[in-house]
Amino acid sequence: MQQESKVSKEEASLFSLKLYVRAEGEVVLEYNHVPIDKLLETFNQVGHYDIETYENAHTIAAIVKHFISTAEKLNGEMAEIIRLT
C-alpha cells in the first residue's frame, strides 16, 4: 500500500480523495477540499498575490471546483453500483 505524501510548509492541500474498504467490507469514498471562498480569500491575503492581477487564482479555484463535482458524481455512481449488486 502506498503511504500518504507529506505536505511541506510551502504547499497546501486543496483537494484530496480516498477510496478504502472498511473491515466489514463497506467501500468508502472520502474527499476533502478547501472551501473556494476561503481559497480566493487566502490568495488575496498573501502579500504578493492580488486576486485582481493574479490570473491563476481563478484557474486554480476552477480546477478545485471541477475536482469537487467529479468526486460528487463518482460518489453517486459508486452508490448506484453498490445498490445494484
What is the grid cell recorded at 6?
Answer: 507529506
* Proportion of the chain in helix, strand, coil states, percent, rounded to 5: 45, 15, 40
**pLDDT attached to residue 31:** 94
Domain annotation covers residue 22: no
**pLDDT attached to residue 43:** 75
Per the document, the length of the chain is: 85
Structural domain count, the chain: 1
Give the distance, in angstroms, between the CA of residue 49 and the centroid of all CA atoms in the same chain: 22
pLDDT at residue 85 above 80? no
Domain annotation covers residue 3: no
Domain annotation covers residue 11: no
pLDDT in tens, 17-67: 999 888 888 888 899 999 999 888 887 776 555 556 566 788 889 999 999
Work out the burial of residue 84: count CB atoms within 10 Å of its CB; fewer than 13 is exposed, 13-18 middle, 19 or more buried. Answer: exposed
Domain annotation covers residue 48: yes
Q: What is d(CA 16, CA 34) in angstroms, rounded to the nearest whole number?
A: 10
3 Cβ contact partners less than 8 Å away, ≥ 6 residues apart = none
Residue 36's domain comprises 29-84
pLDDT at residue 8 above 70? no
| pTM assigned to the model | 0.72
**pLDDT attached to residue 35:** 94
> What backbone torsions phi and psi does residue 51 show, to the nearest 5 degrees?
-60, -25
